[in-house]
Structure 1
Amino acid sequence: MMASSLLLAGCGGERKDVTSPDGNIQVAVSGTSLSDMSYTVSVGGKELIVPSALGVKTEKPMLGENVKISYSHADEVNEEWTQPWGENKRVVNNYNEMTVSVTDGDENEMAVRFRVFNDGVAFRYEWNLGESADTVVVTDELTQFGLPADGKSWSIAASADTYELPYRIMPIGEVSDANTPFTFRTEAGVYGSVHEAALYDYPEMTLKRNADGVLQAELSPLPNGVKAYVPAQFATPWRTIQIADKATGLINSAMILNLNEPSKIADTSWIKPQKYIGIWWGMHLGTQTWIQGPRHGATTENAIKYIDFAVANNIQGVLFEGWNKGWENWGGSQSFDYLAPYSDFDLERIAKYAKEKGVELWMHNETGGNLPEYEAVLDSALAFYQSLGIHTLKTGYAGGIANGGTHHSQATVRHYQKVVEACAAHEIMLDAHEPIKETGIRRTWPNMMTREGARGMEWNAWSDGNDSEYLCILPFTRLLSGPMDYTPGIFDIDYSRAKADKGRIEWNGPNAHCCIKTTLARQIANWVIIYSPLQMASDMIENYEGHPAFQFFRDFDADCDWSEAVAGEIGEYIAVVRRAGENYFLGAGTNGEKREIEIPLDFLKEGVSYTATVYADDEQSDDPETYKISTLTVTSADKITVRMNANGGQAITFMPAK
């Protein structure tokens, strides 16, 4: 755990293992010195992770002479807690704990704390070096994950700047580096995912295969190469390994959340999940612009139109990108004005109108990576928004980080957290794009609602886009970390209506081939599958007006009480059901293969009849925009057959029959 090796004494006879409450998962620790301490993880009595190194490397040794090691075990924790919003508002937290403590003669302490849940393993490093100790300079982390080489994995490449990368499907042993969540399936059929929880004041962890062929933690560095500067009393983020006997078990795990502290926000009454629309998609298609001009999207006229549409369609929020001055500096100084709107966007009038109509107005702050400029005005900008009755903010960090930093280093992690806490002080909910990855801090800071952190919908507008296999991988990888603002719900799938608007866009350029590899029914299903408490209908509203299938979004409730992945295999298909109040919503999607799955409806309340409204692919048509809407009456004793075309899906609302 430090740069030098010290022998350990006093460890004989002590219990060096800890098991999950159900006895299925075991962690054992071995070693006689700090330099050879290792851990193993067994599932059902069989090794999942072979002996793997532990440790943090620092510039100066943290411990002195006369080092001793001790093992302590805490009583089982089995509790239930509630959150103001989430996939499940009631969460069970059940684990056993063991702490391996190393102390020196001066009572400096270094410890590894393990928690073993029925759905995985977590551990972190903690140190207490006394009040007079200097800042600890972390130069490396030695943590290893000795996974079997012949298993299958799904991951994106490691990057210190972006998560917007395609997923790779490859044998575990062939992965040279990866970001997390790093999801795998062993030959024995054990599913798992390596990630981290409670990331604060520390760089993100990626994985890199070392010279011995083992995946090892790799921390994103600061510009000078140092990984982190931390206090003499500190706890690192948790290193996590979620474990399940089937793929959907990973999705249904709450372990990442449980490793975070309870909410630090006393009054959460202003934190409200919502559905939203906004001026956004047109900019990516090219039919509108962020910059003020003939095709400017964020105008007063458009704002009023969108607010009226929200009121008429049971939608709570409206977002406007390109409302503020500074977009003309994009690609140059990356300097934005977070207080001054363009002259054709009457912010105060719009805010007043939205408030009168009961609609939440969203602000958007693109930083372009210019963190010093944004931090200098952050509090005054948030206070201004709060004075207008605004409670929701979308941030963006598209661009290189100023002063040579990266998006995922300790310095930028600190910045992201500063924004979260500043927003909380001004009663503002946050949606972060180009973010640091989610690690469950939404439990502690429930105003941190949702993030991007993967290739979202906009990639379909100006690239080869995201295929249906990608959307069947996402729930088992990125979404294991937490909510994602994917911005689903495009109804003009081949952009024919946008292409027909010759007066506003030239579709003969490099994006002329673009479309979404999907069906309309799958776009509807994504509102359920891709969880976000701030859920967007992302198309331009003229594509929803008068559309029968948009009734699903009108009925949908983003403030769910309970969720469960009921079927799925990674990269193949997925089916998720959520309950909000008395209503249930089911979303299912498949990859490029036409598929039929049978789903028991035992999640419905027993003894109640429900009207199921089914939004399905048209099996007789290859046109992705064709669909069928049908209704039937069902109970919890029934099963329903979900039929999906290639790249397709199905969405169902279940409402108590009247």
Structure 2
Amino acid sequence: MKKAFLLLLAAFAALTAPAQTLHSPAHKLTLSFRLSPAGEPTYQLQYGAKSVVQASRLGVLLQGQPGFDKGFTIARIDSSRHDDTWTPVWGEVKSIRNHYRELAVTLQQPAPQNRQLVLRFRLFDDGLGFRYEFPEQPSLKYFTVTAEKTEFNLPADHQAFWMRGDYDTNEYLYSTTRLSEVSPATARPTPEIATQTPIAGNAVQTPLMLRSDDGLYVNIHEAALVNYPAMALLVNGAMHGLTSQLCPDATGAMAHLQTPAQTPWRTVVVADNGPAILSSKLILNLNEPSKMVDTGWIRPQKYVGVWWEMQINKGSWSYSDVNNIKLADTDFATLKPHGRHAANTANVKRYIDFAARNGLPGVLVEGWNVGWEDWFGNWKEEVFDFVTPYPDFAVNELQTYASGKNVKLIMHHENSGSVTNYERRMDSAYRFMKEHNYDAVKTGYVGRIIPRGEHHDGQWMVNHYVRVAQKTAENRIMVDMHEPVRPTGLHRTYPNWLANEAARGNEFNAWSSGNPPEHETILPFTRLMGGPMDYTPGIFQIKLDEYAPQNKGKQVHTTLAKQLALYVTLYSPLQMAADLPENYEKHPDAFQFIRDVPVDWDDTRILLAEPGDFITTARKAKGKDEWYLGSITDENARQQQVRLDFLTPGQQYEATIYADGKGASWDKNPMAYQIRKQKVTSKSVLKLQLAAGGGVAVSFKPGK
């Protein structure tokens, strides 16, 4: 009887407790928190008078014990303000303001356990971040999360820019539908992705971009993903609701934690226009500051590479046709070469020479190391050792040759999903790199993960990616990860973690159905919200038929001018000039923009942006009064008038405009371009003409 009375009293207290209200610094956003009659934590979010998230429940379910989802009373409420400015090691802007108001609600469950949970909310003028915190306490030490029940209940059936939710890939095409229309039938088919683990027919990946009919732009993602699985979202289309879905491990559990512990931040970025979404630094601000004291060795850079020729079937990663190799007992010097191996000494020297002539500091070489003959699809444990080159790749000779040209070779570590093998060999692999003057590595995680039963997005792999960032930092190595979990702003904490792939990159244009022209206008609103992408732009030979018979009908789904504009609209401190050297040598005038465009910036202005339609971005070079502009469109031709009021007042600039040529279009005449120059000032208006699937790139340099 006494227990029933206490429960009734707790329910009454929850029902009558006033909502806790928090306003963002400039009162643009309002957060309301309260407990339901059942003691369930709920929150709401408003943008002015408009509802962003309606009453939504929060909770975490545990294995073998009651969940953290109901039966709570409020034990304590703390609020605070924060306002400072920090300087990123590299980035889109010189400095970032971190300005928010915080509400920390300590919740208590009744005896006999008396467990506590802290819900921490940070409200910025451009959005909300919140997370679950599990304090150290007698009744909670080790625990297993079986589900997270975080809801985002929306006020209407918004337009959504989404891809299928999957535990192992982020390389699906995007669909644009109403939330209520999310289904396998409206997801774009992508059969070319070899490793797929779809979650459910109503599951979508984060970051999820939404646009309301009344003019709100809403982006849902997460920040600081550490020691926890990635979050996808389950859509309840009829109710316009979203619920978190975590990636399970090999046992079916979601996360194994020890107090004190915390989840990643759940993020809701909100604005009344597209450019403001792309300008948000909320996700970065929710990550911890850099753990590295000395960052002077970290260098954003452009690079070329022995890579595209394999994508277009002109060369091969493998050295021979043998397909049953065992690392432990094979004499690779006796393998019979098939003659198509691209990572040979002479070919790599050709790339080094090209890089040196054009001021590009890096050359990536893929396929240099033994194991590529049967690397894919066999779920094989020991594929690569990351230190043994093929017979035609002279490591020491190339080290000397590159150093003499003031060029650095970039290492490639494809582990084919055999992550246990990579973890065993990381120390020797990084030692090999340092001995041969490599200070950057591109990692790859193609295929099903080993340990078997784990996924790319699970807790075990999330911790692995962080370990790689930490260990490469200890060795003063920069890292670019391909096929990892989607990024969540951890490059603030580990600035040597320059870039990720984690999306459908430019390579898909070489050997699949390709990327539709709208693809690059969606990526900044989705995948790039969490961090830079190594998209590998800069393809000049758009039609690919000439390289191999199997390329018939294949092409890049942009114009040449749009490939230039991508260097500005798709941000990365690591940008590849992805095409073959000979194709750049055919168009030295257009290649000049790639030579000129920086990869590190003092300022960024998103001038025009609508997801799925167009983006126009201007950026100021680090330490210089030079600006670069990129403008891209979807399958529709567009005209734009761009005010140049971002330029320094009173200064005249020479604008070099790289535009689509007469009659250009992505499908019928993609390589037509024109270059013109004109004098401009901050009072000028630039008229841009974008072809279907096209773009414009502009450099602004001070006149004499």
Q: One fold, TM greater than 0.5?
A: yes
Deviation, 1:188, is 1.0
- Deviation per residue, 1:300-320 (Å, 9 max, x gap): 111211111111111111100
1:178 aligns with 2:219: no
Q: 43-52 or 363-372: which moved more?
A: 43-52
Distance (Å, rounded) in 2 between the aligned partners of 1:601 and 1:229: 53
Corresponding residue number in structure 2 for 1:644:
690
Aligned runs of 1:9-158 on 2, under 5 Å?
Answer: 16-32=20-36, 35-59=39-63, 60-61=65-66, 68-103=73-108, 108-130=115-137, 133-158=140-165
Aligned-pair identity in percent equals 40
Deviation, 1:138, is 0.2
Other structure's SS at 1:544 match = helix
Corresponding residue number in structure 1 for 2:590:
549
CA contact (8 A) 1:158 1:207 kept: yes
Distance (Å, rounded) in 2 between the aligned partners of 1:63 and 1:517: 48
1:611 aligns with 2:654: yes
2:470 aligned residue (421, 444, 453) = 421
1:203 aligns with 2:264: no
Distance of aligned partners of 1:251 and 1:211 in 2 relative to their CA distance in 1, 3 Å threshold:
closer
Distance of aligned partners of 1:65 and 1:515 in 2 relative to their CA distance in 1, 3 Å threshold:
closer
Corresponding residue number in structure 1 for 2:293:
266
Other structure's SS at 1:229 match = strand
Deviation, 1:150, is 2.1
Distance (Å, rounded) in 2 between the aligned partners of 1:88 and 1:64: 40
Corresponding residue number in structure 2 for 1:600:
643
Distance (Å, rounded) in 2 between the aligned partners of 1:210 and 1:473: 23
Distance (Å, rounded) in 1 between the aligned partners of 2:582 and 2:608: 34
Deviation, 1:388, is 2.2
Corresponding residue number in structure 2 for 1:566:
607
CA contact (8 A) 1:592 1:646 kept: yes
- Deviation per residue, 1:557-584 (Å, 9 max, x gap): 1122221211021111111111112211
CA contact (8 A) 1:15 1:71 kept: no
Distance of aligned partners of 1:348 and 1:45 in 2 relative to their CA distance in 1, 3 Å threshold:
same
Could you tell me the TM-score, scaled by structure 2's length?
Answer: 0.88
Distance (Å, rounded) in 2 between the aligned partners of 1:430 and 1:651: 28
Letter in 1 for 2:407: V
1:279 aligned residue (301, 306, 309) = 306
- Deviation per residue, 1:111-167 (Å, 9 max, x gap): 110011110011000011337843111000110000134211101110000000010
Letter in 1 for 2:279: N
Letter in 1 for 2:358: N
CA contact (8 A) 1:63 1:103 kept: no
- Deviation per residue, 1:276-306 (Å, 9 max, x gap): 0000011111101001241111111112111
Corresponding residue number in structure 2 for 1:502:
none
Distance (Å, rounded) in 2 between the aligned partners of 1:563 and 1:358: 30
1:474 aligns with 2:481: no
Letter in 2 for 1:602: D
Distance (Å, rounded) in 1 between the aligned partners of 2:98 and 2:85: 6
Q: 476-485 or 234-243: which moved more?
A: 476-485
1:236 aligns with 2:282: no
1:321 aligned residue (366, 376, 379) = 366
Distance of aligned partners of 1:229 and 1:33 in 2 relative to their CA distance in 1, 3 Å threshold:
farther
Aligned runs of 1:518-597 on 2, under 5 Å?
Answer: 518-547=558-587, 548-580=589-621, 581-597=624-640
Other structure's SS at 1:303 match = helix
CA contact (8 A) 2:133 2:261 kept: yes
Distance (Å, rounded) in 2 between the aligned partners of 1:231 and 1:131: 12
Other structure's SS at 1:651 match = strand
Letter in 1 for 2:490: I
Distance (Å, rounded) in 2 between the aligned partners of 1:35 and 1:288: 63
1:163 aligns with 2:170: yes
Distance (Å, rounded) in 1 between the aligned partners of 2:247 and 2:664: 49
Deviation, 1:337, is 2.1
Distance (Å, rounded) in 2 between the aligned partners of 1:408 and 1:65: 28
Distance of aligned partners of 1:520 and 1:630 in 2 relative to their CA distance in 1, 3 Å threshold:
same
Number of residues of Structure 1 aligned to a counterpart in Structure 2: 645
Deviation, 1:61, is 3.5
Letter in 1 for 2:219: S
Distance (Å, rounded) in 1 between the aligned partners of 2:271 and 2:140: 42
Distance (Å, rounded) in 1 between the aligned partners of 2:38 and 2:497: 38
1:307 aligned residue (352, 377, 381) = 352
Distance (Å, rounded) in 2 between the aligned partners of 1:484 and 1:63: 36
Distance of aligned partners of 1:400 and 1:134 in 2 relative to their CA distance in 1, 3 Å threshold:
same
Letter in 2 for 1:378: M
Letter in 1 for 2:685: K
1:624 aligns with 2:651: no
Letter in 2 for 1:172: L
Corresponding residue number in structure 2 for 1:380:
428
CA contact (8 A) 1:108 1:129 kept: no
Corresponding residue number in structure 1 for 2:681:
635
Letter in 2 for 1:188: D
Distance (Å, rounded) in 1 between the aligned partners of 2:307 and 2:45: 46
Letter in 2 for 1:656: P
- Deviation per residue, 1:145-199 (Å, 9 max, x gap): 0013421110111000000001011112333221001000111110010000000
**Unpaired segments of 5 or more residues in structure 1?**
500-504
1:391 aligns with 2:439: yes
Distance of aligned partners of 1:275 and 1:63 in 2 relative to their CA distance in 1, 3 Å threshold:
closer
Letter in 2 for 1:633: K
Distance (Å, rounded) in 2 between the aligned partners of 1:238 and 1:275: 32
Other structure's SS at 2:696 match = strand
Deviation, 1:604, is 1.0
Q: 616-625 or 175-184: which moved more?
A: 616-625
Distance of aligned partners of 1:169 and 1:621 in 2 relative to their CA distance in 1, 3 Å threshold:
closer
Distance (Å, rounded) in 1 between the aligned partners of 2:516 and 2:37: 49
**Unpaired segments of 5 or more residues in structure 2?**
1-6, 183-201, 320-336
Deviation, 1:601, is 0.6
Deviation, 1:212, is 8.0
Corresponding residue number in structure 1 for 2:501:
452
CA contact (8 A) 2:180 2:236 kept: no
Distance (Å, rounded) in 1 between the aligned partners of 2:288 and 2:617: 27
Corresponding residue number in structure 1 for 2:453:
404
RMSD: 2.1
Distance (Å, rounded) in 1 between the aligned partners of 2:23 and 2:422: 47
Distance (Å, rounded) in 2 between the aligned partners of 1:563 and 1:34: 47
Q: 281-290 or 125-134: which moved more?
A: 125-134
1:289 aligned residue (299, 316, 337) = 316
- Deviation per residue, 1:404-428 (Å, 9 max, x gap): 2111111111111111111111111
Letter in 2 for 1:55: G
Distance (Å, rounded) in 2 between the aligned partners of 1:36 and 1:211: 23
